[in-house]
Structure 1
Amino acid sequence: MSVTVQAICTGLPQPFNGAELSAIAKQPVDGPVMIRTFGIEGDMVADTKHHGGPDMAVHHYPHDHYADWDAWLGGHDLLAGPAAFGENLMMDGFVETGVLIGDRFRIGGALLEVSQPRQPCWKIEHRFGRKGMVKRIVKQHICGWYYRVLEEGEAQAGDTFEKVENGHEGWSVARLFAKLYDPADNPSQTELEEIAALDRLCELWRAKARNALES
């Protein structure tokens, strides 16, 4: 499956909430940009404790969700622009239920691998000025995800985003997120053992499964 990339977006840390900085406000890049193992050139992370690193190099939030968010919010200006959820890649055609942990995609000269779901945080609600968004993300498993970069390369808006290899069968981003993050979805011991053994899942989330098994 392949789709066309609408935009590649980057941002720098800016004042966000008092003294707090955030790079959630991203804008499309004009022309080609390098995608490196540490992320897209020109894109920076403000909170290096919770964001960034090789397993969070590139962020993808499905543009497919924008219409439902617009209806739920009763309209919002951010949804008419790019990267409303701070994502690096904007395109239609891929959502959490149809993307597997470990799926590999080619974009321009870069090769990306799905490494983990994205944990929603308070910054989304602060950006939109609306409470309840994180709760909705957790309940509906519309979390978005991150890629690690297996091969660095140049890419730009208009490039094809093509799936070139399947990841872990049965473990979509949505299912993985639900099992480890949704209080309403209790994973079985077998499921936790499977999660802990997913070699393309980032170590942080595999550790979550191991800790749940031990407790």
Structure 2
Amino acid sequence: MQRTRVDAVFAGRVQAMPGDGRPTGIFKTVVVEPVRVGIEGLEIDAQADRRVHGGPEKAVHHFPAKNLLRLRAAFPAVAARLVPGSLGENLSTAAWDEAEVCIGDVYRLGSVRLQLNQPRSPCWKIDARFGVDGMTRFVAEHGIAGWYYRVLEPGSFAAGDVLMLEERAADAVSLREYWDLHAATRPDLAAVRRVVDAPGLAPDKRARWQQRLEWLQANG
């Protein structure tokens, strides 16, 4: 079974973006002790804009450290600041990336049961956080924003716990496939149907893919 160690857990409070003033929850600090996790995420974590962050469908954000290597290479001026926790994530692992995880995957971490239900969609706060233009666009274009879990069973977890895959659908869609299809102008209809039918996909994402499928069928 697929498994990896969680190297660090992060949480934070809402604060003003330096030089900007708008509220943000992107600044996180390391959590050493076990943390309670409910349906809406880590109990000690906070999000500024609940329309696009947090809540049951975006309860826990996982950003793999592998992706930091690509960001450092693309943005050398801020490479020293691109460290685990700096993208606003809750979980950091040295292993895995978007090619190795799938929509609908069910994992166990500590006593918490999680389901991967969607990729993260990067926002303006990444550029503002690092004071550079184009990082958000780079993250979006390369599909390296990490992913969200919904919480199936609340409990607690801590850094050092093993994240273990418990369930994966037979025809699961990896996040790399998801992003490749997202970028395609005329994606294969069967591939789009796989995304629409992916078990565990967040409802709003499923609705958008269903709309795209219907448009493609009508304009084939």
Instruction: Note whether the superposition's TM-score is higher than 0.5.
Output: yes
Q: 1:41 aligns with which of 35, 40, 43?
A: 43
Aligned to 1:124, the other structure's residue is in SS state: helix
1:18 to 1:131, Cα distance in 2 relative to 1, 3 A: closer
Name the structure 1 match of 2:7: 6
1:28 to 1:55, Cα distance in 2 relative to 1, 3 A: same
2:157 & 2:202 partners in 1: Cα distance? 24
Q: Which is further off, 14-23 or 201-210? A: 14-23
Q: Report % sequence identity.
A: 34
Alignment of 1:99-114 (within 5 A): 99-114=101-116
Name the structure 2 match of 1:187: 187
Q: With structure 1 as the length reference, what TM-score do the two structures score?
A: 0.91
1:120 to 1:135, Cα distance in 2 relative to 1, 3 A: same
- Offset at residue 23 of structure 1 (A): 0.3
Q: What runs of 5+ residues in structure 1 fail to find an aligned partner? A: none
1:142-176 Cα distance to aligned partner (Å, 9 max, x none): 12110001111111111111112114624111211
- Amino acid aligned to 2:5: T
1:203 & 1:168 partners in 2: Cα distance? 21
- Offset at residue 185 of structure 1 (A): 4.9
Q: Is the 8 A contact 1:104 1:167 kept in 2?
A: no
1:185 & 1:99 partners in 2: Cα distance? 24
Q: What runs of 5+ residues in structure 2 fail to find an aligned partner? A: 216-220
1:16-59 Cα distance to aligned partner (Å, 9 max, x none): 16341110011111211111111011111110111222110000
Name the structure 2 match of 1:77: 80
Aligned to 1:113, the other structure's residue is in SS state: strand
